[in-house]
């Protein structure tokens, strides 16, 4: 989109975005999302992302996100543990290795890059 817009995040339709089975530590988490804006060169992305309960690992991008609903614990390898829930903002560094324990289906709005 090359124009300004507004979107109600809780009602946004998301598309399945299957996890790599190697990322799943426990449970049967399912991921969905929607890219709502991307720069021409793909270096900056804005979107909505959702994950159902379970435990997964990830290698993070340079990202800021705001939790709209749900709760999770994010453990950083060799670093802090964050507890995030509705209204929380978090900043992730590119390359951080994390383990997400999703307690309640989590939906977030994010900005990468």
Task: Answer yes or no: is 43 within a domain.
Answer: yes
Assess whether pLDDT exceeds 90 at residue 1: no
Range of the domain at 46: 15-112
> Residue 83: which residues within 8 A CB-CB, separation 6 or more?
71, 72, 73
As beta bridge partners, residue 59 has 97
Residue 2 lies in a domain: no
C-beta of residue 69 within 8 angstroms of C-beta of residue 105: yes
Asked if residue 89 lies in contact with residue 66, where contact means CB atoms within 8 angstroms, the answer is yes
Q: Is the pLDDT of residue 36 over 60?
A: yes
Domain assignment present for residue 1? The answer is: no
Predicted pLDDT at 78 = 94
3 lies in a domain? no
Condensed to tens digits (0 to 9), the pLDDT of residues 11-32 reads 999 999 999 999 999 999 999 9
Q: What are phi and psi of 6, to 5 degrees?
A: -130, 150
Residue 2's pLDDT is what? 64
The answer to whether 59 and 95 have CB atoms below 8 angstroms apart is yes
- Three-state DSSP at 51 gives strand
Query: Per the domain annotation, does 100 fall within a domain?
Result: yes
pLDDT of residue 68: 98
* Eight-class DSSP state of 12: -
Instruction: Check which CATH number belongs to the domain holding 64 and give it.
Output: 2.60.120.10
34: helix, strand or coil: strand
- The reply to whether 7 falls in a domain is no
Domains in the chain, number: 1
Q: What tens digit of pLDDT does each residue of 65-106 get?
A: 999 999 999 999 999 999 999 999 999 999 999 999 999 999
pLDDT of residue 5: 87
């Amino acid at each position: 989109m090359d124009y300004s817009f507004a979107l109600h995040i809780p009602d946004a339709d998301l598309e399945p975005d299957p996890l790599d089975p190697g990322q799943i530590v426990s449970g049967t988490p399912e991921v969905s999302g929607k890219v709502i804006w991307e720069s021409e060169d793909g270096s900056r992305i804005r979107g909505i992302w959702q994950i159902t309960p379970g435990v997964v690992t990830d290698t993070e991008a340079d990202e800021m996100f705001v939790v709209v609903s749900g709760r999770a614990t994010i453990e950083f390898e060799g670093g802090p543990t964050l507890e995030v829930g509705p209204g929380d903002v978090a900043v992730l560094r590119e390359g951080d290795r994390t383990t997400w324990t999703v307690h309640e289906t989590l939906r977030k709005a994010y900005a990468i890059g």
